[in-house]
Amino acid sequence: MTDLTMRVEARRPLTEQICEFTLAPLDGAELPTFEPGAHVTIETPSKAMRRYSLINDGSAPEVYKIAVKREPESRGGSASMHDEATVGTELRVEPPENDFPMGEANEYLLIAGGIGVTPIYSMAQQLDREGKPFNIIYCTRSPEDTAYLDEMRAAFGDRLLVHHDEGDPEKVYDFWDHFEEPKNMHVYCCGPAPLMEEIEAISGHWPEGRVNFEDFKPVDVVREDDKAFDVVLEKSGKRVTVPEDRSILEALRDAGVATVSSCESGTCGTCKTRLLSGEVDHRDMVLMDEEKSENIMICVSRAKEGELVLDL
Ligand code: FES
C-alpha cells in the first residue's frame, strides 16, 4: 500500500508532555481500516520516522488519532512533532500495521504504563463496544502525567484502576496477585521496559500466548554525549558530516542521498549498509558478531572514532 499524505487537523494537549494529534487525509481520501493495537509510521517534521499507536475506532476511520509524548532527551522525532507539526502541517504516513493484535478471549486484562496507554485505550474502547469483559490497570507517575484520565474514568468506571507511583520504585504497582494463578484470560501490556519486563518475569508460568506485549519503545537513537563525524560514500565520492544530534541515516537523507529504512531503531535490518573501513559503535539488535566488521545499521550505529567509509 502506498504512503498517505495527511494533514494535522487538530492538536489537543493531554498532559504537559503528551499531545494528541488528529490526522486527516488530503482531499478526504478513504483511509485504510485498522484493528486496536495497530500503529502508523510517520515521517516527523525532523524527517525521523516514528511509530505511533492509533487510538480511535479503526473500523471506518475518517481520521487517525495518535498521542505523542515529548521524550525528555528527544532532539528529533517527538520534539519536532510537538514543535513543528502544527495544524495544517502535512505529514507522510505509512498505512497502519499491527504487531499487537487482540485475540479472542473470555476475559481481558489490559495493562498500560505512561504513554503505553495509547494501544490499550484503543483496545478497551473496542472491548467496550463489543460488550466483552475487561479490566485495565493504568500506571503513571502522577494524575497530571496521565493522558486520557478523565475520559477513561467516564467510559470505563470501576473497570479502570489507576495507580500513581510518583517516580518512586518503592511505590510501583504490585501485579503479583493478578498473575499468581494462571487465568483463562488474555493480557495485553504496553509501557516502559521495566514494566513489561516485570510482567514478563511474573507471568512465565502462564500458558503461551496469554500474555502479550507491545515491544516497540521510543529509541534513543542519539545519545547525550554523541559527537559529530564524517561518512565517506565510496561509490558517489560524497562526504557527509553526521551532526552530533542526527543518525547517519538522517544525515544522508538531509544531504539528499537516497536511503531505505523502516524501523529506524536498529531492529528490522532494512538499512544494513556495507562498511568499507572505520571503527563502528554498533548499536543495533540485528547484526551477528561475524557481520560487524563489514556491515553497519546506519539508523542507529555511529563512528567510534574518525570517519566511516560506506559502500554507497
Ligand atoms: S531501519 Fe530498521 S534496522 Fe535500521
pLDDT for 61-76, tens place per residue?
999 999 999 876 555 6
Q: Which of 97, 125, 146 is the last residue of a domain?
A: 97
CATH, residue 209: 3.40.50.80
Domain of residue 78: give its range.
4-97
Residue 252 is assigned to a structural domain of this protein: yes
CATH, residue 247: 3.10.20.30
pLDDT for 102-118, tens place per residue?
999 999 999 999 999 99
pLDDT for 220-233, tens place per residue?
577 778 899 999 99
Residue 86 is assigned to a structural domain of this protein: yes
Q: Is the pLDDT of residue 38 over 90?
A: yes
Atom of ligand 1 nearest to the CA of 266: 3
| Ligand 1 and 263: CB distance under 6 A | yes
Burial 52-63 (b: 16+ CB within 10 A, else e): bbbbbebeebeb
Q: Is the pLDDT of residue 218 over 90?
A: no
Residue 276's pLDDT band (cuts 50, 70, 90): very high
Residues 246 and 293 in one domain: yes
| Ligand 1 and 250: CB distance under 6 A | no
Ligand 1 pocket test: pick from 219, 252, 268, 275 the residue with the most ligand atoms within 8 Å of its Cβ.
Answer: 268
Residues 12 and 88 in one domain: yes
> In this predicted structure, what is the pLDDT of residue 74?
54
Please give the distance, rounded to the nearest whole angstrom, from the Cα atom of residue 48 to the centre of ligand 1. Answer: 12
Atom of ligand 1 nearest to the CA of 298: 4
- Least confident piece of the model among 65-69, 252-256, 305-309: 252-256
| Ligand 1 and 248: CB distance under 6 A | no
- Unique residue bearing C-alpha cell 554525549: 225
Residues 145 and 172 in one domain: yes
Q: In the chain, pLDDT over 70 holds for what percent of residues?
A: 96
Look at the chain and report how many structural domains it folds into: 3
Q: Is the pLDDT of residue 32 over 90?
A: yes
Atom of ligand 1 nearest to the CA of 269: 3
CATH, residue 72: 2.40.30.10
Which H, E and C letters describe the chain, residue by residue? CCCEEEEEEEEEECCCCEEEEEEEEHHHCCCCCCCCCCEEEEECCCCCEEEEECCCCCCCCCCEEEEEECCCCCCCHHHHHHHHCCCCCEEEEEEEECCCCCCCCCCEEEEEEHHHHHHHHHHHHHHHHHCCCEEEEEEECCHHHCCCHHHHHHHHHHHEEEEECCCCHHHCCCCHHHHCCCCCCEEEEECCHHHHHHHHHHCCCCCCCCEEECCCCCCCCCCCCCCCEEEEECCCCEEEEECCCCCHHHHHHHCCCCCCCCCCCCCCCCCEEEEEEEEEECCCCCCCHHHCCCEEECCCCEEEEEEEEECC
Q: Is the pLDDT of residue 248 over 60?
A: yes
| Ligand 1 and 61: CB distance under 6 A | no
Atom of ligand 1 nearest to the CA of 267: 3
| Ligand 1 and 269: CB distance under 6 A | yes
272-301 mean pLDDT: 93
Residues 166 and 135 in one domain: yes
| Ligand 1 and 262: CB distance under 6 A | yes
Residues 21 and 115 in one domain: no
Question: What is the chain's mean pLDDT, rounded?
Answer: 91
> In this predicted structure, what is the pLDDT of residue 73?
56
Atom of ligand 1 nearest to the CA of 261: 1
Residue 103 is assigned to a structural domain of this protein: no
54-67 mean pLDDT: 96
37-54 mean pLDDT: 88
246-259 mean pLDDT: 89
Q: What is the pTM assigned to this prediction?
A: 0.74
Residue 121's pLDDT band (cuts 50, 70, 90): very high
Residue 224 is assigned to a structural domain of this protein: no
Name which of 23, 28, 25, 55 is nearest 39 in CA terms: 55
